[in-house]
């Protein structure tokens, strides 16, 4: 009965209800679309940074991340292989040896990070192969090297030239080797571009004298969104001798940047939600003022205040939820459109995002969470506004109300 009363009350003043619904509808469309674009942007950023180099998660020996030396490498033994094979939610893994070395051409030297990869397995985890802009990608047991574009430029070398690497190997052994440059790799991130040298895993292990040992295992989860769960379950399964880290921990600069972006987004969203809140609140104020006499009569004839408040709350929630639902329906085709046909960024922005290794498009996200989140927020706004009639009705005096 209360629901029926609330629903019919909503349509007592159709124009007002429709205007309120429209304000919620358009605000939800706008907020959903904004969030969808932002999430899409973040996803692009994560995919490009994570997909270019770090992977979604990594395993190291405990202490390696704090002190990245070969002394903190680990032996890839059968027990670890068995646990990884049986890990839930793990799609694949790729081995790496990473260490620092001095790279030299005939004239110039520079400090670099040498990354030993299994070329075939690496393809499943990063898009390194696609980033080769000159020359060829590595083969298994390859003795050649891939160089970041900026590094090659700095060293004034190209495909076919020889690169000399000098460094310190495992247990203080000296590490030195000559490698023909097999390809040049383009990274969006200038930091990666000017310091990365890729060798085959075998060549790297030989260079640093770490045969049978690794510094990193790059992990690919079945579901990227379940990376955290995978990290937790693996950490408990493989034990304390290893540290399992998700991409958020591996690339904190992305998180920092996203947080900054999000703060800006929150301000905009706050303004939008305020528009929604005032729209609903204005409607509720008018509804309350118009019906104060009626409220007095209802309390006089025996309607409990809590029931009366419930009618008002149902009215507020109905209009909020209906507006939010219609807004979600309205936002869906827009988000879908910009998911399949992303917005192409202008030349200036294109340069900026290229620095992060991202494609110069802004693709909307169609994650259901975005839509549900908007509905929940509008529902919560409705609940918060419902406090007003609750308070007003709890203090209602039937006689005074009937006189109004």
Q: Return residues touching another protein (CB under 8 A).
A: 1, 5, 8-9, 11-12, 293-294, 297-305, 307, 398-399, 402
Asked whether the beta carbons of 95 and 199 are under 8 A apart, the reply is no
Q: Nearer to another protein by C-beta: 12 or 120?
A: 12
Q: How far is the CB of 374 from another protein (least distance, A)?
A: 30
d(CA 55, CA 46): 10
Q: How far is the CB of 395 from another protein (least distance, A)?
A: 10
Q: Nearer to another protein by C-beta: 341 or 391?
A: 391
Q: How far is the CB of 319 from another protein (least distance, A)?
A: 15
Considering only CA atoms, give the Rg of the chain.
30
d(CA 97, CA 210): 9
| Structure-block tokens of residue 8 | 């019919």
Q: Nearer to another protein by C-beta: 87 or 398?
A: 398
Q: How far is the CB of 340 from another protein (least distance, A)?
A: 45
Q: Nearer to another protein by C-beta: 102 or 303?
A: 303
d(CA 61, CA 88): 21
Residue 382's SS3 state is: helix
Q: Nearer to another protein by C-beta: 5 or 345?
A: 5
Q: How far is the CB of 4 from another protein (least distance, A)?
A: 8
| Structure-block tokens of residue 145 | 């090297």
Residue 176's SS3 state is: strand
Q: How far is the CB of 299 from another protein (least distance, A)?
A: 6
Asked whether the beta carbons of 400 and 300 are under 8 A apart, the reply is no
Long-range contacts formed by 372-378: CB under 8 A, 24+ apart: 373/35, 374/28, 374/31, 374/32, 374/35, 374/324, 374/327, 374/328, 374/331, 375/28, 375/321, 375/324, 375/325, 375/328, 377/31, 377/273, 378/24, 378/28, 378/276, 378/320, 378/321, 378/323, 378/324, 378/327
| Structure-block tokens of residue 111 | 């400090």
Q: Nearer to another protein by C-beta: 173 or 300?
A: 300
Q: Nearer to another protein by C-beta: 145 or 299?
A: 299
Q: How far is the CB of 14 from another protein (least distance, A)?
A: 12
| Structure-block tokens of residue 181 | 């440059």
């Amino acid at each position: 009965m209360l629901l029926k009363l609330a629903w019919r009350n909503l349509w007592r003043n159709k124009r007002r209800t429709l205007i309120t619904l429209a304000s919620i509808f358009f605000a939800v469309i706008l907020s959903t679309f904004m969030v969808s674009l932002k999430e899409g942007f973040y996803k692009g950023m994560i995919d490009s940074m994570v997909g270019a180099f770090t992977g979604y998660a990594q395993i190291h020996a405990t202490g390696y991340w704090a002190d990245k030396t070969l002394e903190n490498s680990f032996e890839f033994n059968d027990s670890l292989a068995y646990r990884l094979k049986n890990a839930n939610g793990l799609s694949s893994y790729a081995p790496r040896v990473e260490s620092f070395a001095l790279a030299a051409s005939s004239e110039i030297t520079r400090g670099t990070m040498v990354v030993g990869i299994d070329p075939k397995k690496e393809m499943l985890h990063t898009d390194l192969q696609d980033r080769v802009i000159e020359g060829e990608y590595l083969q298994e047991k390859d003795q050649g090297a891939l160089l970041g574009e900026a590094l090659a430029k700095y060293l004034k070398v190209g495909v076919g030239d020889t690169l000399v690497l000098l460094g310190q190997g495992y247990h203080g052994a000296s590490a030195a080797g000559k490698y023909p440059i097999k390809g040049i790799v383009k990274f969006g991130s200038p930091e990666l571009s000017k310091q990365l040298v890729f060798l085959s895993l075998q060549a790297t292990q030989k260079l640093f004298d770490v045969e049978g040992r690794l510094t990193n295992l790059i992990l690919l989860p079945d579901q990227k969104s379940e990376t955290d769960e995978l990290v937790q379950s693996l950490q408990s399964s493989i034990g304390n001798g290893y540290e399992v880290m998700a991409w958020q921990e591996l690339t904190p600069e992305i998180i920092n940047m996203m947080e900054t972006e999000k703060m800006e987004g929150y301000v905009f969203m706050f303004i939008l939600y305020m528009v929604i809140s005032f729209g609903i609140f204005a409607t509720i104020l008018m509804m309350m003022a118009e019906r104060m006499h009626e409220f007095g009569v209802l309390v006089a004839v025996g309607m409990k205040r809590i029931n009366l408040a419930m009618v008002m709350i149902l009215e507020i929630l109905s209009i909020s939820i209906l507006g939010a639902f219609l807004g979600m329906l309205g936002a869906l085709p827009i988000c879908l459109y910009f998911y399949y046909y992303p917005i192409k960024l202008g030349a200036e922005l294109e340069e900026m995002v290229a620095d992060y290794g991202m494609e110069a498009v802004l693709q909307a996200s169609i994650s259901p969470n975005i839509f549900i989140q908007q509905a929940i927020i509008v529902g919560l706004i409705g609940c918060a506004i419902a406090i007003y009639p609750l308070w007003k009705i709890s203090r209602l005096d039937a006689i005074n109300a009937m006189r109004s």
